[in-house]
Amino acid sequence: MDRTPDGDPVEIFLVERYWPDVDVDELRRALPRLESAVTAMRSEGREVKYLGSILMPIDQVVFTLVAATDEREIRQLNERAGLPVDRIAKAIALLGPAMTGSPAGRRGPEVHR
């Protein structure tokens, strides 16, 4: 588990967004706002990191993975970006080598908490 310079744990959170009529173009237009909000919060010394999003167009849902110290950081990040949030939950991400940049081997997927 990663930690802040002060020793606080940085955890992974899954943000669930019910987003009627969202499509890949709309999501692509929205992501720079999220990335700008991350940059602003990091410049304030806050530990937040955007990890990626998954669009499920048939369900009109977007799932976003974000690393942060707590749920309040996630809520503020999304408020700054002007993005809808329906649910935030702590998550454990089992990421493969394509996502982590690490070689595939006997270790299996890299675990991020």
Domains in the chain: boundaries: 2-112
Distant-in-sequence, close-in-space partners of 93: CB < 8 Å, separation ≥ 6: 12, 51, 65, 111, 112, 113
Q: Kindly indicate the confidence band of residue 8, based on its pLDDT and cuts at 50, 70 and 90.
A: low
pLDDT above 90 for 35: yes
At 71-101, the pLDDT tens digits run: 999 999 999 999 999 999 999 877 777 666 6
User: What pLDDT does 104 receive?
Assistant: 53
User: What pLDDT does 60 receive?
Assistant: 94
**Region 2-112: CATH code:** 3.30.70.3090
DSSP 59: T
28/111: higher pLDDT = 28
Sign (positive or negative) of CA dihedral 20, 93, 104, 102: positive
C-alpha separations of 43 from 36, 40, 46, 65, 73 in Å: 11, 5, 7, 20, 14
Q: Take residue 84 and report the two structure tokens written for it.
A: 């809808």
Looking at every residue in the chain, the average pLDDT score rounds to: 85
pTM: 0.80
The C-alpha atoms of residue 68 and residue 4 are separated, in whole angstroms, by 9
